[in-house]
Amino acid sequence: MFFKLISRNSKRSRKENGLFFATLLVSIVAFYVILSLSHQDVMIFLAQMESDAVNRLLKMIPMFYGATLFILFFLVYFASRFQLERRRHEFGVYLMMGMSRFRLFFMLLAEDLRSSIAALLTGLPVAILVSELTSLITARLVGLGIIGHRISISVSALVWTAAGFLLIKLLAFLILSGKIVRQEIGSMLTDTPEGTKKPLPVAVYVIALLLGAGFLAGAYWMAINGMAWNELGKMGLTIILGLAGTILLFYGLRVVMGFLAGRSSRKNKLQVFTFRQLEENIIRRTTTVAVSSLLILAALCCFGAGVAIAQFYGESEQHVLDYTFTDEANPSAIKDTVKEQKVDELFSDLFEMKIGYIRINDDYFQMDSVEEELEKQPDSEDKEVLLNNLSYGTDPHLISLSGYNHLLEIAGLPRIELKDKEAAVYMDAEFTNDARSKLMNQILAKNPQVELVGEKYHLTGTVQSMGVVVDRSITLSFALILQDEEFEYFTKGDYSIYLNGVLDSGQTEGKSLLTAISDTNKKLNQTGLVYESYLQNIGRQLFYVVAASYITIYLAVVFLIIANTVIGVQFLTVQQKTSRRYKTLIRLGASYQILCRCAAKQIRWYFGIPTVVAAVSSIFGVRALFTGLLSSRTSDNISTMMIISAAMILLLCVVECIYIAAVKASSNRYLLTLMVPEREE
Amino acid sequence: MKNILEIESLCKYYGKSSNQTKALDGVTFQVMPGEFLGIMGSSGSGKSTLLNCIATVIKPTSGKIVMQGKEIHSLKGSQLTDYRGKMIGYLFQNFELLDNLTGRENILLPLSLHNVSAEESDRRMKQLASYLEITDVLGKFPSQMSGGQKQRIAAARALILNPGIILADEPTGALDSKNARALMEKLSGLNEEQNATILMVTHDTNAASYCKRILFIQDGVIFHELRRNMPEESQQMFYERILSVMAQLGGGSANVL
CA distance A330 to A338: 13
Chain B residue closest in CA terms to A272: B105
pLDDT exceeds cutoff 70 at A194: no
Distance from CA of B119 to the nearest CA of A (A): 11
The answer as to whether A452 is a domain residue is: yes
Q: What would the pLDDT profile of A207-223 be if each residue is shown by its tens digit?
A: 999 999 999 888 888 87
CA distance B117 to B70: 25
Chain A residue closest in CA terms to B109: A270
Burial of B219 (0-12, 13-18, 19+ CB in 10 A): middle
Q: Work out the average pLDDT over A188-204.
A: 68
Confidence of residue A267 (pLDDT cuts 50, 70, 90): low
CA distance A303 to B23: 63
Residues of B in contact with A198 (CB under 8 A): 141, 143-144
Determine contact, residues A273/A598, Cβ cutoff 8 Å.
yes
Nearest CB among A261, A588, A591 relative to B110 is that of: A588
Q: Work out the average pLDDT over A510-537.
A: 73
DSSP string for residues in A442-471:
HHHTT--EEEETTEEEEEEEEEE---SSS-
* CA dihedral for A37, A42, A47, A51, sign (positive or negative): negative
Q: Lowest-pLDDT range, A56-60, A139-143, A660-664, B180-184?
A: A139-143
The answer as to whether A556 is a domain residue is: no
pLDDT exceeds cutoff 70 at A190: no
What local confidence, expressed as pLDDT, does residue B55 receive?
84
DSSP string for residues in chain B:
---SEEEEEEEEEES-GGG-EEEEEEEEEEE-TT-EEEEE--TTSSHHHHHHHHTTSS--SEEEEEETTEEGGG--HHHHHHIIIIIEEEE-TT----TTS-HHHHHHHHHHHHT--HHHHHHHHHHHHHHHT-GGGTTS-GGGS-HHHHHHHHHHHHHTT--SEEEEESTTTTS-HHHHHHHHHHHHHHHHHS---EEEEES-HHHHTT-SEEEEEETTEEEEEEE--TTTS-HHHHHHHHHHHHHHIIIIIITT-
Show pLDDT as tens, one digit a residue, over chain B (257 residues): 688 999 999 998 887 777 888 889 999 999 999 999 999 988 778 888 898 888 887 888 899 999 988 888 888 777 877 888 788 888 888 888 887 788 888 888 888 777 777 777 788 888 889 988 999 999 888 888 888 899 999 999 888 888 889 999 889 888 888 889 999 999 999 899 888 899 999 988 999 999 999 999 988 899 889 999 888 888 899 999 999 888 877 654 544 33
Half-sphere CA count of A551, side-chain side, radius 13 A = 18
Q: What would the pLDDT profile of A320-349 be if each residue is shown by its tens digit?
A: 777 888 777 776 777 777 777 777 777 888
Q: Does A193 touch chain B (CB under 8 A)?
A: yes
Residues of B in contact with A602 (CB under 8 A): none
Last residue of a domain, one of A513, A528, A543: A528
Amino acid at B117: S
CB contact under 8 A, A266 and B98: no
Average pLDDT, chain A: 79
CB contact under 8 A, B57 and A677: yes
pLDDT exceeds cutoff 50 at A514: yes
Long-range contacts, stretch B150-155, CB < 8 angstroms, 24+ apart: B150/B95, B150/B97, B151/B91, B151/B95, B151/B175, B151/B179, B151/B183, B152/B183, B152/B186, B153/B95, B153/B97, B153/B103, B153/B106, B153/B107, B154/B91, B154/B92, B154/B95, B154/B96, B154/B97, B154/B106, B155/B91, B155/B183, B155/B186, B155/B187
Last residue of a domain, one of A528, A563, A589: A528
What local confidence, expressed as pLDDT, does residue B81 receive?
77
pLDDT exceeds cutoff 80 at A613: yes
The answer as to whether A360 is a domain residue is: yes
Angle at A29 between CA A25 and CA A30, to 5 degrees: 115
Q: Work out the average pLDDT over A252-278.
A: 77
Look up the ipTM and state it. 0.73
Residue A444, number of CB atoms within 10 A of its CB: 20
CA distance A322 to A339: 17
Confidence of residue A149 (pLDDT cuts 50, 70, 90): low
The answer as to whether A121 is a domain residue is: yes
Q: What would the pLDDT profile of B218-238 be if each residue is shown by its tens digit?
A: 888 998 899 998 888 888 999
User: Which of B100, B109, B153 to mutate to test binding with chain A, by most A CBs within 10 Å of its CB?
Assistant: B100
pLDDT exceeds cutoff 90 at A641: no
Identify which has the larger pLDDT, A430 or B30.
Answer: B30
CA distance A659 to A665: 10
CA distance A368 to A174: 76
CB contact under 8 A, B100 and A272: no
Confidence of residue A680 (pLDDT cuts 50, 70, 90): very low
Angle at B101 between CA B98 and CA B105, to 5 degrees: 105
Q: Work out the average pLDDT over A381-409.
A: 83
What local confidence, expressed as pLDDT, does residue A230 receive?
72
The answer as to whether A649 is a domain residue is: no
Q: Which residues of B touch A (CB under 8 A)?
A: 43-44, 48, 52, 55, 57-58, 77-78, 80-86, 90, 92, 96-101, 105, 108-118, 141-144, 157
CB contact under 8 A, B52 and A677: yes
Nearest CB among A196, A264, A589 relative to B113 is that of: A589
Half-sphere CA count of A420, side-chain side, radius 13 A = 2
Q: Work out the average pLDDT over A616-620.
A: 81
Q: Does A595 touch chain B (CB under 8 A)?
A: no
Last residue of a domain, one of A173, A190, A207: A190
Pairing of strands A323-326, A495-503: antiparallel
* Ramachandran quadrant class, B59 (left: phi over 0; alpha: psi -120 to 50; beta: rest): beta
Residues of A in contact with B98 (CB under 8 A): 273, 276, 581, 584-585
Percent of chain A whose predicted confidence (pLDDT) is above 90: 4
Q: What would the pLDDT profile of A541-568 be if each residue is shown by its tens digit?
A: 777 777 777 778 788 888 888 888 888 8
Q: Lowest-pLDDT range, A273-287, A540-554, A585-599?
A: A540-554
Q: Work out the average pLDDT over A83-103.
A: 77
Residue A648, number of CB atoms within 10 A of its CB: 21
> How far lies A459's CA from each of A42, A391, A440, A649, B249, in Å?
45, 17, 11, 47, 119
CA distance A294 to A611: 9
Query: Number of A:B CB contacts under 8 A?
Result: 96
The answer as to whether A37 is a domain residue is: yes
CA distance B154 to B150: 6
The answer as to whether A314 is a domain residue is: no
Residues of B in contact with A597 (CB under 8 A): none
What local confidence, expressed as pLDDT, does residue A458 receive?
87
Instruction: Give the range of the structural domain holding residue A443, as residue numbers without chain letter.
Output: 342-528
Name the residue among A291, A294, A246 with its Cα closest to residue A78: A291
What is the number of structural domains in chain A? Answer: 2
Neighbour order of strands in the sheet with B88-91: B88-91, B165-169, B198-202, B36-40, B213-218, B221-227
* Ramachandran quadrant class, A342 (left: phi over 0; alpha: psi -120 to 50; beta: rest): left
The answer as to whether A367 is a domain residue is: yes
CB contact under 8 A, A273 and B78: no
Confidence of residue A673 (pLDDT cuts 50, 70, 90): confident
CB contact under 8 A, B98 and A584: yes
Q: What would the pLDDT profile of A434-466 be if each residue is shown by its tens digit?
A: 778 888 888 888 888 888 887 888 888 888 888
> How far lies A314's CA from each of A43, A306, A310, B151, in Å?
16, 12, 5, 70
Residue B231: cis peptide before it, omega within 30 degrees of 0: yes
Nearest CB among B98, B114, B142 relative to A589 is that of: B114
Residues of A in contact with B144 (CB under 8 A): 198
